[in-house]
Amino acid sequence: HAEGDPAGAHVLVSLPDRDAEEGLIAAAAGRGVAVGGLGRHCAGPGPHRAGLVVGFAAPTRADLARALEVLTSALQHVLDPRR
Could you give phi then psi for residue 79, rounded to 5 degrees?
A: -80, -25
Q: Alpha-carbon distance 45 to 59, whole Å? A: 34
The CATH number of the domain covering residues in 2-79 = 3.90.1150.10
Q: Where are the domains of the chain?
A: 2-79
CA 13-19-20 angle, to 5 degrees, is 35
Q: Return the bridge partners of 55, or none.
A: 10
Tens-digit pLDDT profile for the chain (83 aa)? 556 556 667 788 889 898 999 999 999 999 888 888 988 877 777 778 899 888 777 778 888 888 889 989 988 888 887 76
Q: Is 35 helix (H, G, I), strand (E, B) or coil?
A: coil
